[in-house]
Amino acid sequence: MKKFRSLAAFIVICSLLLVTAQASSPIHPKIIFGDISSDFAQDADRLIDTDESEQDQIDGENNWFSAIEGFFSMTALEETAASALPDAAEQEDEEIRTIFIEDTTFVSVRDFIETLHPDAVFSYKNGMVSVAHTDMYMELHRGKIYCYANGRMLPVSDPCFEMEDTFYAPIRLLAQLYSFDVEWDEESATVTLTQNDEELIPGAEFYDQDDYHLLARLINAESGNQSLEGKIAVGNVIMNRIADSRFPDTVAGVIYDRSCGVQFTTAYNGRLNKTPNADSYIAAKLVLEGYSVADDCLYFLNPSIARSSWVIRNRPYVMSIGDHAFFS
């Protein structure tokens, strides 16, 4: 009798382990492209052939990198031309590698981009993948909250990662870069991408250059030695004031505001004229993209220096990041 009980118990335990294993097995959503315009119908045998106008554009992008003191690497390592796009019959078996993690579909960057641009050139260095093809240069960073694309610094809510020699990025980020709407079908675990008309505007056109550079200088002057999060929070304060009717409605107006006394001493003591560091430029672009870590905060200060500040006595405390306390 004991043998039968032991056997029954063994069977139950094995069943539970099987169910647990099935429940924890990873989900690999299927990617389906809707109508794709002829812009993506490229010759699979065409290799990169950069003409003078395209080279001028790339050179212009390189100038941006020098402006942030070479923070991003332009060195092409492990550079490879993408393989030719297979014919329709073969392509049906060539699915884009995906994995579903915490309500987000991640896709292989190489698989996704090669499907659209078989002439793309990839390089990898220290957790960063760069991709270049006609009209696009991007850099995707492992574990970072941003990616660089054509002069833009785009927020990444779900950071890129590497797994089994594959670099993954969230599908919604790549959809934004390549002008697709995303539709998720949970029942079939399918992502359908439909092309839209929302082309990615280059950074040179998207950002007001005066605002961008002034904001980067203010962020650097006030928080140059703080974390990227701390720099972003300082930039958020500037943008929150612009949106508040009690303050001026421009970046310069807020920074140089003296209606109630000097608001930012760095605007008048010479520190604003110093060249910003790389993270200050990155923070400025993320802030101008609408990324925020300090919603509704209108004031910040270093409490170890400004112990008797009017702000401390009169404004609600919200949080602290690094050396700065933030108030609404």
Domain harbouring 255, CATH code: 1.10.10.2520
Identify the CATH number of the domain in which residue 152 sits: 3.30.457.10
Residue 92 shares a structural domain with residue 198: yes
Residue 109 shares a structural domain with residue 253: no
Residue 162 shares a structural domain with residue 241: no
124-143 in b/e burial notation, b at 16+ Cβ within 10 A? Answer: beeebbbbbbbebbbbbbbe
Cα dist from 259 to 159, 239, 248, whole Å: 42, 18, 10
- Residue 2 maps to a domain: no
Closest CA to 193 of 29, 26, 41: 29
Domain span holding position 180: 26-205
Position 187 scores a pLDDT of: 92
Note whether 233 and 213 are within 8 A (CB): no
Residue 109 shares a structural domain with residue 162: yes
- In whole angstroms, give the CA distance from residue 48 to residue 72: 22
Residue 217 shares a structural domain with residue 194: no
Query: What does pTM read for this prediction?
Result: 0.77
Q: Are strands 180-185 and 146-149 parallel, antiparallel or unpaired?
A: unpaired
- Residue 10 maps to a domain: no
Choose the final residue of a domain: 205, 234, 253.
205
Tens digits of per-residue pLDDT, 65-103?
444 433 443 333 334 333 333 333 343 446 899 999 999
Choose the final residue of a domain: 205, 234, 250.
205
Residue 250 shares a structural domain with residue 155: no
- Residue 1 maps to a domain: no
Counting the structural domains of the chain, the total is: 2
Stretches where the chain sits below pLDDT 50 are 3-4, 7, 10-23, 38, 41-93
- Tell me the two tokens of residue 146: 């941003």
Closest CA to 296 of 237, 235, 232: 237
Choose the final residue of a domain: 205, 225, 260.
205
- Residue 322 maps to a domain: yes
- In whole angstroms, give the CA distance from residue 78 to residue 75: 10
- Residue 273 maps to a domain: yes
